[in-house]
Amino acid sequence: MKIAIAGAGAMGSRFAVMLTQGGNEDLTLIDGWPEHVAAIKKNGLQADLGEDDKGVGKGVGLQVPVWLQSEVPSGEQFDLVIVFTKAMQLGQMLHDIQGVLGPQTKVLCLLNGLGHIETLEKYVAKEQIFLGNTMWTASLIGPGKVKMFGTGSVELQNVAPGQEDAARDLAEFLSKSGLNASYSADILASIYRKACVNGTMNCLTALLECNIGQFGQMAPAHAIVTQVVSEFVAVGRAEGLDLNESELVAHVESCYDSAVADHYPSMYQDLILHKRKTEIDFINGAIARKGRKYEIPTPYCDLLTAMIHAKEELLGAK
């Protein structure tokens, strides 16, 4: 299968390493960060795979074709394109790679956040789109260098009716490379479930400059989480999803004393540590927008979105 990873940051790089190690050698990276592309061209993609049982560091250097997204040649079409940009980069990426998206190309979107189908549908037919989410994690530690840790999974579903078998085949294909993928009969509910965690922990730890465990210790934490989750649930229900509000609040709050308690979520890392713009418009911002459409008040999501944008300005985020 001819595969492209469009958005070869932390997660795109991780998936590239796993798919290549799983025997898929016809794989191309496409990315918009010139220094990253140049480093991969020069030294290959360097992956830190953590330590083995004896505490010895493991790593691989992947020699893989890589294209700058503004220089994608046309004429070559891929069977599978996995998009892994940040949410706000998705439209530009799809625009830039139109030349490699043929009528048979399947596009798998595993980005966090809401509203990606509308963006994808501007560039490919609904039948070609597969939507999912993933519990795998990774970090870029510099241009051309990815750190992979922990285990994870992928859930995915077809967007157009009648493509269930194609979605199941795609999940099976990913699992052959150890990606632990499964077909979901209700991917939007799973995406909302993850968005409830991102829509609370991401923006609140970034605004308060704390980790997940520290946030959980704060007296107002429960009231804030309950209100934000209730806005996600109200909007999700307006979209026809069957969401259990108290289960979702408990799901978010279970992070406080879990293995991720000491973790600073990606929005904190992007904004506070690296002064990068955030995906807020596709998490709380998406709920605020959808809330206006359905005439559902979303005051906490409105405020959190505005506060994160204010902090982006304050820090000169790019």
Angle subtended by helix axes 245-253 and 221-238, to nearest 10? 140
Phi, psi for residue 213 in degrees, rounded to 5 = -60, -40
Determine phi and psi for 130, rounding to 5 degrees: -125, 130
140 lines the binding site for ligand NAD (CB under 6 A)? yes
Does 109 interact with ligand NAD (rule: CB under 6 A)? no
86 contacts ligand NAD (rule: CB under 6 A): yes
Is there binding between residue 46 and ligand NAD (CB under 6 A)? no
Q: Which amino acid is at 138?
A: A
Catalytic residue among 2, 41, 194, 277: 194
To the query of whether residue 194 is one of the catalytic residues in this protein, the response is: yes
Beta strands in the chain (DSSP E): 3-6, 27-31, 45-51, 57-62, 66-68, 80-83, 106-109, 129-134, 137-142, 145-149, 154-158, 181-183
Q: 11 or 201, CB closer to ligand NAD?
A: 11
For the four alpha carbons of 78, 163, 18 and 70, in that order, the dihedral sign comes to positive
From residue 313, alpha-carbon distances to 47, 200, 273, 278 in Å are: 33, 21, 14, 11
Nearer to ligand NAD (CB atom), residue 86 or residue 290 = 86
When the beta carbons of 111 and 170 are compared against ligand NAD, the nearer one is: 111
Of 100 and 140, nearer to ligand NAD (C-beta) is 140
**Residue with Cβ nearer ligand NAD (204 or 234):** 204
Segment interacting with ligand NAD, rule: CB under 6 A, options 28-36, 117-125, 158-166, 210-218 = 28-36
Q: Does 285 bind ligand NAD (CB under 6 A)?
A: no
What's the min distance (Å) between Cβ of 187 and ligand NAD? 14
The region of 27-35, 180-188, 252-260, 289-297 touching ligand NAD under the rule CB under 6 A is 27-35
Instruction: For residue 73, give the DSSP letter.
Output: P
Phi, psi of 7 (to 5 degrees): 110, 85
Question: Judged by CB under 6 A, which of 27, 29, 36, 234 binds ligand NAD?
Answer: 36
Q: Is 205 a residue that touches ligand NAD (CB under 6 A)? A: no
The distance of closest approach from Cβ of residue 9 to ligand NAD in the complex, given in angstroms and rounded to an integer, is 2
- Rounded to the nearest 10°, the torsion over CA 14, 40, 176, 187 is 40
268 sits near ligand NAD (criterion: CB under 6 A) = no
Reading phi first (left if > 0) and then psi (alpha if -120 to 50, else beta), residue 180 is in left
Residues in the chain: 318
Give the C-alpha separation, 205 to 262, whole Å: 11
**Residue 138 binds to ligand NAD (criterion: CB under 6 A):** yes
With binding defined as CB under 6 A, does residue 18 bind ligand NAD? no
For ligand NAD, the closer of residues 211 and 226 by Cβ is: 211
Q: Is 145 in the site for ligand NAD (CB under 6 A)?
A: no
Residues in contact with ligand NAD by the rule CB under 6 A:
7, 9-12, 31-33, 36, 84-87, 89, 111-112, 134, 137-138, 140, 266, 274, 279
Residues marked as catalytic: 194
